[in-house]
Chains A and B, each alone.
Chain A
Amino acid sequence: MNKRKIFVILLAIFAILYSGTFVFMDQFYTSQEVEVVASASENKQVQQRLKELGYYAGNIDGIIGSQSIQAIRNFQRDYGLTVDGIVGPNTLKALGLSGTSSYTSQDLYLLAKCVHAEARGEPYVGQVAVAAVILNRVESPEFPNTISGVIYQPWAFTAVHDGQINLEPNESAYSAAKDALNGWDPTYGCLYYYNPETATSEWIWTRTTVVTIGKHVFAI
């Protein structure tokens, strides 16, 4: 048999297996990457505070690397906390940084996360409108009766389904969510919205259109 041929075949199999292995490795690490991205702003606060207290000398970049973890561990040891290098509620409290959300602002936080995931890049009023649709669903008999029930209803929002909901919301999303909770509803009772360029469901086209804001069509 031609050795050259065998050589080429072996090389090909090698390449396939090599890339295949990375596919699996990827699968294991995706969720962790999302988490790091998700709390980047919080991480910066932690690094800033650790720097002020003299535990951390690195850059304030929001990335928790080995230097940051060592700083957290040293801080935890000095303050009598469990030394695990992880910033949990107790460590946050000891750092003088309260947790991201108390139970009362949980709804606002969740609403802001959904707005950010579903409508970042949309005009401000379009973000308020998305938040208002979620709240209108809470009031409607055809949907779950709580904000979390509506947002986490299986198959209801694409950005919840694909995990974008776990991105940290920006100020605009917070502000829009707060306005909607305060009663702003530029759609006056809409229960649905869709992007006509990407909507795949035929059913959605049967709904009565109320208003178009940015890329979204709002409907009842």
Chain B
Amino acid sequence: MEKTLKRNNIILIVLSSILAILLVTFVVLYSISMSTQNNLKVDLENIYQRNYSELVDNINNSEIKLSKVSALGENSYTRALLSDISKNTAQATTNLSALPISINGISETIKFINQVSGYTQTLSEKLDRGESLTQDEVDTLRQLREAFTVLKDNINEMSNKIYNGNIHDFSMSIDGDFNKFTMMLKNLKSKDVDYPAMIYDGPFSDSMVNKEIKNLNFAKVTNDVARQSLLNIFKNVHENSISYLGETNGHFKTFDFKLSTISNDAMYVQVTQNGAKLLTLSVGDYDDTQNYSLNDAIDIAINFTTLSSIANTECVWSDVVGGDAYINLAPVENNIILYPDLVKVKVDLSTGNVVGFEASSYYTNHTKRSIATPSLSSDTAKQYVPDELYIKETRLCLAPLDYNREILCYENICTYDASTYYVYVNAQDGEVENILKVVETENGNLLM
């Protein structure tokens, strides 16, 4: 009896000691974990605070510069001011997007700031070209200043709450669909004036989003007609292997189908509801073998595009990545390459099948244009290319270099220091409109 008691006591002592050790380990680990967590929280809060402070600075600076522009009217300093406002407001958006804002909670405010940036940039470029501001533009700038002052006052008022509180904590408490931090910013809007509309063709303008589709003035068809049109393009596809998936009702309206072919994964195709034109085709392809050459692929791409009722195209850019050839085709009229009307085709080099097709630019932009004859000859245009570059080839093209503006240019393909450059010289006045560099990467060549 006594022996059992003694043994029990020993077990108790051993167990208690293990327990004590574990307890200490537990407390130590817990405190390390808590302090790591706290450090991370402080670091995160510091990043938020930094971005918030920069946001307030950028909004304040933009407002001061907008006041100067609207008070002084146009003068030699205006261009620099407008360019500064554009930079400050762009930076403000970067700051805003680094803050823990629920998605779309304050999209109107972000949109306003982004558009002020785009608008002032467009005006600054206009002054750069030697033009001056119209009365409408000056009036819009004044309205922008008024709206901006309200935004600035509101944000500065909110700062008092932010400095006393903690952005991280505000962001963690959810208030309906948005977090508390978003709601604080969102509530600013209720005291706001209406944001003035900015009419311009430049970055973030509304006219970019809903660009008119110029080349789909055809009658609406049924999805049966759309299905039939696919049989004309994909000759070796049986009618039964085309299944109807539904409609896309966005900027383009399409009927969507899935095609099963023997050699490919399922193909996803979209056919326009107006005129039953093939708009896009996508299929995954990860085979790296190359049984076809790039030239074969270009022929395949052109034939396929012609079958899809887009004629007279030429290859203007091609690149082989893995087992696929990426081919850009553009219509050519009177020896002028129409870059705005690009059709993009991807050809699988192992099977020679088209595994990608994209013609939305073509249907958006292609139209009967009256293009003025160039004032400069190609030889004269070459003189405007910087001397350091060796010109390999020169061709006329219509380039979408500016927002919503198509400019007739001489495209000069040049080399310098083992790199290739594309230099675009305005065919009327010799102005260099853009310079692109071919950047070779492991994922193919890029024009940057």
Contacts and interface: CB of A to CB of B under 8 A. Distances in A.
Interface stretch (A44-52, A58-66, A174-182): A174-182
Given A104-B441, A184-B358, A202 B12 contact: no
A24 B33 CA distance: 7
A140 B346 CA distance: 27
A141 B204 contact: yes
A30 interface: no
Interface residues of B, number: 75
B246 A211 contact: yes
A161 to B, nearest CB: 10
A36 interface: no
Contacts of A155: 100-103, 179
Contacts of B285: 175
Contacts of A98: 442
Interface in A8-37: 10-11, 13-14, 17-18, 20-21, 24-25, 27-28
Contacts of A175: 284-286, 322, 324
Contact of A140 (B15, B204, B250, B286): B204
Given A21-B25, A154-B171, A184-B356, A143 B97 contact: yes
Contact of B265 (A105, A124, A176, A220): A124
Contact of A186 (B18, B30, B209, B270): B270
Contacts of A139: 204, 208
Nearest to B108: A142
A17 B443 contact: no
Interface in B247-276: 247-252, 256, 265-266, 268, 270
A3 B107 contact: no
Contacts of B251: 188-189
A106 to B, nearest CB: 10
B251 to A, nearest CB: 4
A104 B446 contact: yes
Contacts of B408: none
A14 B18 contact: yes
A153 B110 CA distance: 13
B19 A17 contact: yes
Interface residues of A, number: 63
Given A108-B443, A154-B171, A188 B22 contact: no
B248 A188 contact: yes
Nearest to A17: B22
Determine chain B's interface SS by DSSP, over half rule: mixed
B189 to A, nearest CB: 14
B347 interface: no
A149 B93 CA distance: 10
Contacts of A28: 33
Contact of B30 (A24, A145, A178, A184): A24
B250 A187 contact: yes
Given A139-B208, A156-B103, A3 B18 contact: no
Nearest to A203: B177
A142 B111 contact: yes
User: Of residues B16, B99, B282, B444, which shows the largest number of chain A Cβ atoms within 10 Å of its Cβ?
Assistant: B282
B249 A104 contact: no
A133 to B, nearest CB: 12
Given A201-B177, A203-B104, A220-B250, A102 B19 contact: no
A110 to B, nearest CB: 12
A123 B103 contact: no
B60 interface: no
Contact of A149 (B8, B94, B443, B444): B94
Interface in A107-140: 108, 123-125, 127-128, 139-140
Nearest to B15: A10
B265 A21 contact: no
B262 to A, nearest CB: 18
B259 to A, nearest CB: 12
B98 interface: yes
A186 B26 CA distance: 54
A211 B93 contact: no
Given A6-B12, A141-B111, A104 B250 contact: no
B97 A144 contact: yes
A211 B248 contact: yes
A212 B248 CA distance: 8
11 contacts: A24-B26, A24-B29, A104-B439, A108-B441, A145-B93, A149-B97, A178-B321, A179-B282, A184-B282, A184-B344, A189-B209
Interface of B: 8, 11-12, 15-16, 18-19, 22-23, 25-26, 29-30, 32-33, 90, 93-94, 97-104, 107-108, 110-111, 114-115, 118, 171, 177, 179, 204, 208-209, 246-252, 256, 265-266, 268, 270, 280, 282-286, 321-322, 324, 326, 342, 344, 346, 356, 358, 360-361, 439, 441-444, 446, 448
Nearest 9 CB-CB pairings of A with B: A124-B284, A141-B204, A144-B97, A188-B250, A141-B114, A210-B250, A125-B268, A142-B107, A211-B248
Interface of A: 3, 6-7, 10-11, 13-14, 17-18, 20-21, 24-25, 27-28, 98, 102, 104-105, 108, 123-125, 127-128, 139-145, 149-150, 153-156, 171-172, 174-176, 178-179, 182-190, 201-203, 209-213, 220
